[in-house]
């Protein structure tokens, strides 16, 4: 339903608020759980019943963590890995070059170090080796090791894994699998074709974590104590957020506990990276996704592929500082490259819209930034997006999806139909390789498949709000309780509220074009707001004397010089009385 009568805001969006049924259920939740109505609405809109409210606000990992053995091949994987560890065998780790792969590798390396063991790390170069296991690397690793663990990759690498003669291979992955599996000891993957997919929302680091849970359990049966896995949840949290895994169920508990671990700054690599990035407070989900994650990724995009995994796993403070600084420099380089590619891709994609797919392909685009640019296109156009870097007769691309549209399955279908040379992924992201001459038909077919799933049924003009608040109600206790409903991220957006009929008391430009505003309801209620990058946009109409406005955004706690206050992160506004 249209909220506050706003069918077209200053930014051209329609505001959608709670239904009458949601409001009724929220009253029941508020009454039975003793919660503020705004918090109750937030829970109801996430499918939480009155009976579940207390547990949702205080999730316990022990209650939500699945038994590792519910995943196929987990028994064989845990047994073979433990045999290698206890038997002093030579172990290698083949990891993907993104955050999930780096965190997965770091989990294993950290666990092994606590057990007095080491492993060889190999992260493929994005440009020269491409994604996933390749035959040359697997042959080389197999010649010098007894066991190779492929993490965040390997499920469809039949040939390269078969080439690892004389060496056992374990795959710990989450990407969509094909009808057959590669020849190896175990493929532990919640997105295998023969899995129920109940755990299909797990990232690869969470799969690795579950294997280590099972390995620790078996160590206890031998009377031995395994490493503290709870202290490693910072890595799982980072990977879960950076890989845009939905923050529901066990993922939510993993990230919540992982943020608590991260706040202790015990992992020197992450602490060094946070310092280099200028984080002054304990990391939150936004920091994982937009500050730390991109820097861990930077080595795989424009630098040395294994830098991220080495940073996350190191126990040497000097190495941590040096790696963090290198990754920060690579991230700055990546941003410059990305800006050029993004401008060209945006202009190209706009010529093909409206439609169920935004896509662009360009000569000389750096393959290391196409995934980020695809995410930018998806955010701008609210449809699945693909960006392809062309080089000769082929192109390597990356794709990002919107909630509810399984992009990985569609890409896998195109591989089966012969329109793509290679491709794979999961519902929210995928990678692909395509011949130049097949790009147009491949993208047309991909658009058809995505349209069948409902891509573009909800356009970018809707801003979904969780309810209405008055400025006086936006208190520190309310925001603190709302934070207990988090963490917020993929498939669990931060609650957003509307505030009606406010006047602009003060407005000024701060920083790099940000608009800082004080809003007043005329009855003694006042709230501070900030709109990032809005100084030259439509929200710049929010000026003293410009009339009264409805505003919408999310609430955060702002800490400045030891003082904590509530701040509205402004998303949108509309003239009061606007219809």
Q: What is the pLDDT of residues 358-372, one digit of tens each?
A: 999 999 999 889 999
- Last residue of one domain, picked from the residues 402, 424, 452: 452
Predicted local distance difference test score (pLDDT) of residue 460: 47
Is 236 found in the same domain as 90?
yes
* 206: nearest Cα among 158, 248, 265, 260: 248
Domain-embedded: residue 42 = no
d(CA 346, CA 579): 31
pLDDT of residue 457: 56
Residues 523 and 402 in one domain: no
The beta strand positions in 35-160, using DSSP E, are 91-95, 120-122, 147-151
| In contact, 173 and 204? CB cutoff 8 Å | yes
pLDDT at 477: 94
Q: Which residues of the chain have pLDDT under 50?
A: 458-460, 578-579
Six-digit token string for 202: 């797990």
Burial label for 94, CB within 10 Å (0-12, 13-18, 19+), is buried
Return all residues near 173 (Cβ < 8 A) that are at least 6 apart.
150, 151, 152, 153, 154, 155, 187, 188, 189, 191, 204, 207
pLDDT for the residue numbered 556: 92
- Asked if residues 395 and 434 have their Cβ atoms less than 8 Å apart, the reply is yes
Token duo for residue 363? 């000569």
Question: Is 537 within a domain?
Answer: yes
Give the domain range for residue 315. 64-329
Q: Looking at the domain assignment, is residue 458 inside a domain? A: no
Q: What is the pTM of this model?
A: 0.86
Domain containing residue 206: CATH number? 3.90.1640.30
Same structural domain, 82 and 211: yes
Same domain, 170 and 272: yes
Share of the chain above pLDDT 70, in %: 99
For strand 168-172 and strand 147-151, is the pairing parallel, antiparallel, or unpaired? Answer: parallel
Coil, strand or helix at 541: helix
Residue 39 lies in a domain: no
> Which residues of 286-372 form beta strands (DSSP E)?
358-363
Q: What is the pLDDT of residues 39-78, one digit of tens each?
A: 999 999 888 888 888 889 988 999 999 999 999 999 999 9
Q: Are residues 79 and 149 in the same domain?
A: yes
| CATH code for the domain of 417 | 3.10.310.30
Reported as half-sphere exposure (CB side, CA atoms, 13 A), residue 256 has a value of 21
Pair 94, 141: CB distance under 8 Å: yes
Residue 340 domain flag:
no
Do residues 202 and 325 share a domain? yes
Helix or strand holding residue 482 (H, E) = helix 476-484
Within this chain, do residues 507 and 440 fall inside the same structural domain, yes or no?
no
In a domain, 44, yes or no: no
Pair 207, 265 in one domain: yes
Give the integer Cα–Cα distance in Å for 145 and 223: 28
| CA proximity to 566, closest of 487, 452, 476 | 476
Whether residues 140 and 213 share a domain: the answer is yes
Residue 542 is part of a domain; what is its CATH number?
A: 2.40.50.460
On whether both 82 and 189 belong to a single domain, the answer is: yes
The answer to whether the peptide bond before residue 125 is cis (omega within 30 degrees of 0) is: no
Where is the domain boundary, 452, 475, 495? 452
Could you tell me if residue 33 is inside a domain? no
**Does a cis peptide bond (omega within 30 degrees of 0) precede residue 487?**
yes
| DSSP states of 413-461 | HHHHTTS-SEEEEETTEEEEEEEGGGHHHHHHHHHHHHHHTTTTSS-TT
On whether residue 518 sits in a domain, the answer given is yes
- Regarding whether 256 and 137 lie in a shared domain, the answer is yes
Tell me 392's DSSP state: T
Q: Which residues pair with 575 in a beta bridge?
A: 549
Q: Do 87 and 204 have their domain in common?
A: yes
Given 395, 420, 452, the domain boundary residue is 452
How many domains, the chain?
3
For the chain, what's the residue count? 579
């Amino acid at each position: 339903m249209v909220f506050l009568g706003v069918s077209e805001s200053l930014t051209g969006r329609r505001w959608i608020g709670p239904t009458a049924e949601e409001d009724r259920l929220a009253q029941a939740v508020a009454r039975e759980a003793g919660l503020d109505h705004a918090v109750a609405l937030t829970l109801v809109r996430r499918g939480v019943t009155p009976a579940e409210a207390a547990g949702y606000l205080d999730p316990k990992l022990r209650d939500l963590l699945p038994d590792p053995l519910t995943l196929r091949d987990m028994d064989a994987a845990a047994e073979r890995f433990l045999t290698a560890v206890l038997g002093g065998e030579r172990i290698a780790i083949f990891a993907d070059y993104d955050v999930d792969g780096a965190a997965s590798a770091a989990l294993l390396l950290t666990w092994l170090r606590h057990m007095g063991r080491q492993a060889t790390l190999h992260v493929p170069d994005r440009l020269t080796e491409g994604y996933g296991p390749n035959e040359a690397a697997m042959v080389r690793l197999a010649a010098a090791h007894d066991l190779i663990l492929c993490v965040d990759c390997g499920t469809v690498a039949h040939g390269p894994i078969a080439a690892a003669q004389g060496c056992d291979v374990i795959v710990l992955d989450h990407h969509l699998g094909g009808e057959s599996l590669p020849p190896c000891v175990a493929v532990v993957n919640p997105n295998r074709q023969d899995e129920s997919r109940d755990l299909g929302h797990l990232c690869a680091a969470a799969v690795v974590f579950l294997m280590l849970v099972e390995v620790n359990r078996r160590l206890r049966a031998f009377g031995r104590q395994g490493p503290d896995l709870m202290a490693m949840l910072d890595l799982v949290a980072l990977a879960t957020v950076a890989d845009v895994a939905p923050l529901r169920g066990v993922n939510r508990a993993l990230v919540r506990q992982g943020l608590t671990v991260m706040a202790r700054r015990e992992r020197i690599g992450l602490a060094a990276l946070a310092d280099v990035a200028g984080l002054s407070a304990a990391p939150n989900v936004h920091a994982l996704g937009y500050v730390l994650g991109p820097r861990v990724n930077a080595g795989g995009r424009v630098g040395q592929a294994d830098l991220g995994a080495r940073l996350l796993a190191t126990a040497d403070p000097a190495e941590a500082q040096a790696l963090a600084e290198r990754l920060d420099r690579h991230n700055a380089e990546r941003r410059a490259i990305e800006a050029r590619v993004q401008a060209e891709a945006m202009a190209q994609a706009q010529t093909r819209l409206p439609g169920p797919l935004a896509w662009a392909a360009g000569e000389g685009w750096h393959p290391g930034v196409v995934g980020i640019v695809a995410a930018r296109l998806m955010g701008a156009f609210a449809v699945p997006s693909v960006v392809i870097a062309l080089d000769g007769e082929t192109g390597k691309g990356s794709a990002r999806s919107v909630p509810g549209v399984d992009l990985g399955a569609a890409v896998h279908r195109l591989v089966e139909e012969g329109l793509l040379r290679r491709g794979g992924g999961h519902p929210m992201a995928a990678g692909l390789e395509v011949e130049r001459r097949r790009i147009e038909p491949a993208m047309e077919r991909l658009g058809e498949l995505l349209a069948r799933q409902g891509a573009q049924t909800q356009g970018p003009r809707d801003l979904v709000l969780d309810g209405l608040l008055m400025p006086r109600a936006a208190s520190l206790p309310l925001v603190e309780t709302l934070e207990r409903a988090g963490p917020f991220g993929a498939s669990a957006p931060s609650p957003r509220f509307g505030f009606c009929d406010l006047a602009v008391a003060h407005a000024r430009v701060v920083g790099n074009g940000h608009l800082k505003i004080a809003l007043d309801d005329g009855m003694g209620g006042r709230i501070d707001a900030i709109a990032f990058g809005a100084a030259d946009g439509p929200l710049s109409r929010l000026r003293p004397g410009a009339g009264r406005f409805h505003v919408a955004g999310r609430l955060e706690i702002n800490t400045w010089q030891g003082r904590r206050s509530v701040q509205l992160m402004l998303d949108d506004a509309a003239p009061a009385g606007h219809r």
